[in-house]
Amino acid sequence: MVSVEERYEHLEKTIRGYNISADFAQIKAAYVYAREHHGAQMRRDGTPYITHPLQVAQIVAEMRLDSESIIAALLHDCIEDTDSTYEDIAKRFGVTVADVVDGVTKLTRVKYSTMEEEQMENLRKMLFAMSRDIRVILIKIADRLHNMRTMEYQTPAKQKKKAFETMEIYAPIAHRLGMQKVKWELEDLSLKYLDPVAYDDICKKLEAASDEHDQFMSAVQSEVNARLEELGIPHATVYGRVKHPYSIYRKMYAQEKTMDEVYDLFAFRVLVDTVSDCYNVLGVIHDLYKPILGRFKDYIATPKPNMYQSLHTTVIGEEGIPFEVQIRTYDMHAIAEYGVAAHWKYKQGIKKEGGEGTYEWIRRLLENQEDADAEEFIHSLKIDMFSDEVFVFTPRGDVINLPAGATPIDFAYSIHSAIGNTMVGAKVNGRMVGFDYQLHNGDIVEINTSPSAHGPSRDWMKTAKSSEARSKIRQWFKRERREENIAQGRASFESELKHAGLSLSQITPPNVLPSILKRVSFQSLDEMYAAIGYGGCTALKAVNRIRDELLQISRAAAVEKASQEAAAAKEAQEGRPPAPQKSKSEKGLIVEGLSNCLVKFSKCCTPVPGDAIVGFITRGYGVSVHRKDCPNADPDRRTAAEQGRWIKVTWSDDVYESYTTSLEVVCKDRNNLLVDISTALSSCKVSVTSLNSHITTDGFAIFHIAISVSNAAHLDQVMRKIHQISGVMKVGRPAG
């Protein structure tokens, strides 16, 4: 076991290796401060908690960041997990360090109505802090990387949850920042927990063939080295590697291949001093080996938005084995490995805060999502930040990068909102195309505009792929068509209201309307109608929130009436309270203090015997039973008027043979997935009452399944069985 002091000494040694002028006194002070404040806290692996901040600081030091970054990494959990405050850190280590630490800190003290809303607000906070100081995300990625390295000590449920979040959020952010080395490790560690069977299978097969792979790579390396020396290309470094497990897994999944059918397992890198040497080496590689047509990419002439530069070519060796060769300079390689961290301005000694033009895309992303709700924010984030990209050209040769699947509408609005608003036609490679045409890499796009254009169509909102285009279209309708928006929004709202079994007269009384408007976050009904009209929100979401608010209002009225009746009854009995009773309901439940009452199981969390439960007295529907971990039963969310309506409910000995409950299963979409899930359910002897599924745009399959089980232990068996299916990433019980 390495001691805490030895870890700190290793950290200092790493820092001295690249920055001898670092502020070691403050770094030591930060280490002591963090160690004292984390005190006796322990990690799940049994080590003192301070080892985690030390390891995060070590990863940050390996990125070769400055003293303030190291200090912030050491302190990154202090505000969240100890009694330390922002003010105290600012006083001791400066406002800049405190801002970075605060940017990394999650919004743990705020309660949210849904998990999506909590995730959105934490991401929005992190991205906002990141737009001011890029070190926030670098430390957050280092934090997540160390957590994933030690994930083996967490529960299986938490392993899958964190691995899924890492694969969906943090690995793509690392990619967007050009941090390929970190991205690969995050992906491999996530796959280890999301699909352990496939991960182990790939690793075992790679290990079994390691001698054969090493022999092949050594032969190619020697051959290329010999030719480069012969031609006098100086300081060239050649090395090969086998693709990492997740890269192989994706190829197997996307192309439905077995491990033995994945031939391009190998990638070689050639590092040289200058750009001209890169192109010389390319000629050497194409002379030695046969290039595969269509597999050459020049990212030196047209760098990726994350600053990545390299020449890529795929060739076939003498043994008929295809392999990729990446050719780049040493400076390009540093950026390819560590991205933004490799050439960041703090490293170069510039001490100004924030404002890097390189990261303007973060600010644009946030601006485009200012009015978005949680679902829209997460969806747009995945498209704008995490999806594959397509590179197209303006007629003047400027490179524009857009999300994969982008259309001429996205291109027009990426140039300027005025271009999009006056667009009447588009040409791609000199040929007229429709507005829904999907752009491809290398397309030359020309937009035709007219001052007499009527402006964007509402259908463009469905066609546009990027949130920037959709945001600008919404802004146009918001500004130019207010009366039309109100009329259209009102019609949509009233139609949805009728569909929900409600009427406008139920929400307009003076004692009801203020709380309704507060719930939907608008100042007036016209403002809400206008937002629905221009696409700022949907009628369905507005009606759902209004229905929930009306239900709360009716519950509060029922409680008040019940309390008044109880007070009257108490007075009538001259202060003698009724004797408490317990009675067994016909559904296997005991409701404290109530006899022969109607009982129903809440659909929001579908409890089964063995779950911790609580009851809520409804108006006219008896007692509604919730799981205690259901957000709707959270004590912190109960109003004062509701307190008296929550009662104790327990399971009796004579429960039913089966109870209906719900599962949500998130998987990587593939063939025969539904067959495997059905087989697993059948093997657990459960009956399926309903099953719905949909495929997301990024290749995930989400199943909502209603099943009948005997108790919580039976349900756990079913969930474990589904977890074991290849490609299944998350199995959960919906609640709230």
Active-site amino acid positions: 80-81
Q: Quick one: which of 124, 18, 112 has its CA closest to 62?
A: 18
- How far are the Cα atoms of 176, 356, 366, 409 from residue 360, in angstroms, in the given order? 13, 7, 10, 21
* Ramachandran region, residue 58 (left: φ > 0; alpha: ψ -120 to 50; beta: rest): alpha
β-strands 613-617, 646-647 pairing: antiparallel
- The CA distances from residue 556 to 265, 544, 669, in Å, are 64, 19, 45
Strand partners, 728: 667
To which residue do tokens 């280590």 refer? 93
Give the span between the Cα atoms of 58 and 236, in whole angstroms.
30
| Element of type H or E holding 146 | helix 135-149
Q: How far apart are CA 16 and CA 7, in angstroms?
A: 14
- Rounded (10°) angle between helices 115-132 and 374-381: 50
Provide the 3-class DSSP secondary structure of residue 246. Answer: helix
> Are the C-beta atoms of 68 and 96 separated by less than 8 Å?
yes
What's the rounded Cα separation, in Å, for the pair 715 and 702? 19
Length of the chain: 736
What is the C-alpha separation between 362 and 129, in angstroms, rounded? 10
Distance CA 230, CA 648 (A): 85
Burial label, 10 (beta-carbon count in 10 A; 0-12, 13-18, 19+) = middle
Reduced to 3 states (helix: H, G, I; strand: E, B; else coil), residue 591 is: strand
